A and B are shown apart, each in its own frame.
Chain A
Amino acid sequence: MTPFLNEASAMHPLTSTPSARPGASPRRALRLLVLAALCQAAAGAYALSPPTNLRIGTGGGGTSTAWPSASNTGWQPTGVTLKSSGSLTVSTAGAVIDGLDVSGTIYISANNVTIKRSRIRASAFAAIQIRSGVTGARVEDCEIDGRGVSGGATNSMGVIGPVTVLRSNIYGVENGVTPESGSLVQDSYIHDLGAPGSPHYDGIQIDGGLSNIVIRHNNIVISQSQTSAVMIDNYFGSISNISVDNNRLVGGGFTVYSDGQFGSGSPRGGSGGTISGVSFTNNRLGKGAAGYANIVKNTPAWSGNVDDVTGQSLGTNVWWTSAT
């Protein structure tokens, strides 16, 4: 993999700043438009999806006009030319993997590794896995295809571990991102999930024993009637400080969960523990088959959330809560 490290890392203006898309400047907007013209990709797509600095208001769940989509996430909008690769294990601190077309998986075991402008297609437990305890891992402008129901693996993850995921296009897996403590998932498009077996689809899966995770300005669409766009529960232990802000979250059984039902005495077992410091703010929620929110044995902060279709404000009275 060494020849690819740092290769072409300065080729593309989209990656010239780490926070390019969310905190975009007017110049960046212009660049995007020029790029769209040059690439002739998905004609007019950028014009239809202005950069986030054109958002009306700040943080209003009903006001964002630039949701992550196939036209502004992944490697394709960056214009990079991919080079083929097999599976990678990245064990060099600070390595940058750029512009690769990986048929297989990426395992990151060193600090400060960046995977960017790449495509990872894997029929495996995880397309990208970051070893627990590793810091500074980033996945930017990547497309991740878990190969879906017919070609994928059971219980598959797009990205798992402590990580910052930006502007990535993730599909064909059972669970889009399974972040560990300290993670950030932002400006990403998680959609068309699919995996063999008996999948429980989650766009974001946070199953306990975790803290300090931010899920911000993503577009997560679950076309199945289960399980969720964002799952937060205490199966593997306590939860604290999870922010789910300014996302578009659609579908599933319940669209979001903050579910403290697990632990001794629960028919479902699990480690249990407390859930605290969870917040759902300024999100657009597309109602799942069972409802918008499953909130059990905890009281998350909840404000500024609206229905994705009608824009109607959704108060805490949309919470479903169970006694079992």
Chain B
Amino acid sequence: MNRPINLILKAALAATWLCGEAYALAPPTNLRVGAPTTPPPTSGAKPTAANTGWQPTGVTLSPSGSITVTASGTVVDSKDISGTLTIQASNVTVKRCRVRSSSYYPIQVKDGYSNVVIQDTEVDGMGGSSKAILIGNSQVTVQRANIHDSEDGLSLNGSAGLTIVDNYVHNPRHSSEGHSDGFEMYGGAHMVIKHNNFDYSGANTSASNFSNWGGSINDVTYDGNWLAGGAYMLYVDGNFSGGPISNVKITNNRFVRGSSQYGTHVVRGNLSNITWSGNVYDDNGQAIGQ
């Protein structure tokens, strides 16, 4: 996979990809320009358009229609997907891609898979998508994605282990009846959400929303994120019928002052063992109490 390659070979590979035969033949990562391969979570620069998505990698995309991945080990690299990307396999890597779709879910990872990685990918919901990335009960990492123009950015409901780091989620769109959340979880467990920029300015609900509408919520680390927009920027709302919200750490997050309709956050309802520390206003570091 990492064999030497020049631009001619790359063009040939692109032609092969167009035929839809060689998703496993990824170009080597040494062609990347700009972004580091793995910026350290929680200590790197604030995620923005300059350091998320495919563009900073310098890759040239090749066009594609919708893709459904069903083979373990598949690598989807440098594709410009006009349509949806659906993952139904383990050990799948999606990197340096753009997915543009106004479908309900531009990217969906279905239930029951592990070791799925989505990185350096732009997801454009084109103002029509409901959830730009929907992740079911699978073990998934989403890193350095640039997610925009969707009602909701990331929607998670699994318990298989989720890692969401260094993503930029912005430019919410919503219908009159929509509830826009940069990140939403209505039941699930075992997830780490670190060092993301949830800029949902103008959204009607939140930058990030943990609500027990569908089930209990357990074992969440939400650390070092930037939040803007919504009625409240953050909900940890156990006032619904899905069971307790427990073992949630809300730490070291930065709230953009004045960006939300009512306030910075709501933490209430059926809760246990909620850790709240180090959360501040982004402009001056003023502490925000629970």
In the assembled complex, the Cα of A317 lies from the Cα of B188 at a distance in Å of 19
Question: How many Å from the CB of A147 to the closest CB on chain B?
Answer: 22
B239 CB contacts on chain A under 8 angstroms: 198, 226
Stretch at the interface among B7-15, B49-57, B207-215: B207-215
Answer yes or no: A41 CB below 8 A from chain B CBs: no
Within 8 A of A (CB), among B211-229: 211, 213-218
Contact indicator A309/B159 (Cβ below 8 Å): no
Question: Contacts A227-B240, A253-B240, A254-B214 hold; do A320 and B177 have CB atoms under 8 A apart?
Answer: no
Q: Which of A225, A259, A309 has the most CB of B within 10 A?
A: A225
A323 CB contacts on chain B under 8 angstroms: 111, 136-137, 157-160, 187-189, 215
A-B CB contacts (within 8 Å), total count: 90
In the assembled complex, the Cα of A72 lies from the Cα of B187 at a distance in Å of 39
Contact indicator A261/B215 (Cβ below 8 Å): yes
In the assembled complex, the Cα of A259 lies from the Cα of B130 at a distance in Å of 22
Question: Contacts A287-B177, A321-B136, A321-B157 hold; do A296 and B240 have CB atoms under 8 A apart?
Answer: no
In the assembled complex, the Cα of A324 lies from the Cα of B247 at a distance in Å of 15
In the assembled complex, the Cα of A225 lies from the Cα of B104 at a distance in Å of 21
A226 CB contacts on chain B under 8 angstroms: 213, 239-241
In the assembled complex, the Cα of A318 lies from the Cα of B136 at a distance in Å of 13
Answer yes or no: B244 CB below 8 A from chain A CBs: yes
Answer yes or no: B32 CB below 8 A from chain A CBs: no
In the assembled complex, the Cα of A321 lies from the Cα of B104 at a distance in Å of 15
B242 CB contacts on chain A under 8 angstroms: 268, 322
Answer yes or no: A24 CB below 8 A from chain B CBs: no
Question: How many Å from the CB of B269 to the closest CB on chain A?
Answer: 9
A198 CB contacts on chain B under 8 angstroms: 239
Contact indicator A320/B157 (Cβ below 8 Å): yes
In the assembled complex, the Cα of A286 lies from the Cα of B179 at a distance in Å of 12
Answer yes or no: B44 CB below 8 A from chain A CBs: no
- Interface SS of A by simple majority: loop
Within 8 A of A (CB), among B87-112: 104-105, 111
Chain A window 193-219, contacts with chain B (Cβ cutoff 8 Å), 1 for yes, 0 for no: 000001010000000000000000000
Contact indicator A267/B213 (Cβ below 8 Å): no
Number of interface residues of A (CB under 8 A): 29
Contact indicator A309/B218 (Cβ below 8 Å): no
In the assembled complex, the Cα of A318 lies from the Cα of B105 at a distance in Å of 9
Answer yes or no: A310 CB below 8 A from chain B CBs: yes
Within 8 A of B (CB), among A269-322: 286-287, 289-291, 294, 296, 308-310, 315, 317-318, 320-322
In the assembled complex, the Cα of A268 lies from the Cα of B218 at a distance in Å of 13
B217 CB contacts on chain A under 8 angstroms: 324
Question: How many Å from the CB of A7 to the closest CB on chain B?
Answer: 43
Question: Contacts A226-B239, A253-B241, A321-B157 hold; do A267 and B214 have CB atoms under 8 A apart?
Answer: no
Contact indicator B241/A227 (Cβ below 8 Å): yes
In the assembled complex, the Cα of A1 lies from the Cα of B136 at a distance in Å of 57
Question: How many Å from the CB of B196 to the closest CB on chain A?
Answer: 21
In the assembled complex, the Cα of A310 lies from the Cα of B102 at a distance in Å of 15
Question: How many Å from the CB of A251 to the closest CB on chain B?
Answer: 9
In the assembled complex, the Cα of A286 lies from the Cα of B218 at a distance in Å of 29
Answer yes or no: B285 CB below 8 A from chain A CBs: no
A259 CB contacts on chain B under 8 angstroms: 214
B175 CB contacts on chain A under 8 angstroms: 309-310
A290 CB contacts on chain B under 8 angstroms: 179, 184, 186, 211, 213-214
Contact indicator B177/A324 (Cβ below 8 Å): no
Answer yes or no: B40 CB below 8 A from chain A CBs: no
A315 CB contacts on chain B under 8 angstroms: 104
B30 CB contacts on chain A under 8 angstroms: none
Contact indicator A318/B104 (Cβ below 8 Å): yes
- The contact of B159 among A200, A310, A324, by CB within 8 Å, is A324
Question: How many Å from the CB of A256 to the closest CB on chain B?
Answer: 12
Within 8 A of A (CB), among B187-207: 187-189, 205
Contact indicator A322/B157 (Cβ below 8 Å): yes
Q: Which of B175, B177, B211, B241 has the most CB of A within 10 A?
A: B241
Contact indicator B240/A268 (Cβ below 8 Å): no
Question: How many Å from the CB of A288 to the closest CB on chain B?
Answer: 8
Contact indicator A324/B240 (Cβ below 8 Å): no
In the assembled complex, the Cα of A287 lies from the Cα of B104 at a distance in Å of 13
B218 CB contacts on chain A under 8 angstroms: 267, 324
In the assembled complex, the Cα of A310 lies from the Cα of B105 at a distance in Å of 18
In the assembled complex, the Cα of A226 lies from the Cα of B130 at a distance in Å of 20
Question: How many Å from the CB of B88 to the closest CB on chain A?
Answer: 14
Chain A interface (Cβ within 8 Å of chain B)?
Answer: 198, 200, 225-227, 253-254, 259, 261, 267-268, 286-287, 289-291, 294, 296, 308-310, 315, 317-318, 320-324
Task: Give 14 new A-B contacts, CB below 8 A, not counting A268-B243, A296-B215.
Answer: A253-B213, A253-B241, A267-B244, A289-B205, A290-B179, A317-B105, A321-B157, A322-B186, A322-B187, A322-B242, A323-B111, A323-B137, A323-B160, A323-B187
18 CB-based A-B contacts, threshold 8 Å: A200-B241, A225-B240, A226-B239, A226-B241, A227-B241, A253-B186, A253-B241, A254-B213, A254-B214, A267-B216, A268-B216, A268-B242, A290-B179, A290-B184, A290-B214, A317-B104, A322-B242, A324-B187
Q: Which 4 A-B pairs have the closest CB atoms?
A: A323-B137, A322-B215, A253-B213, A322-B187
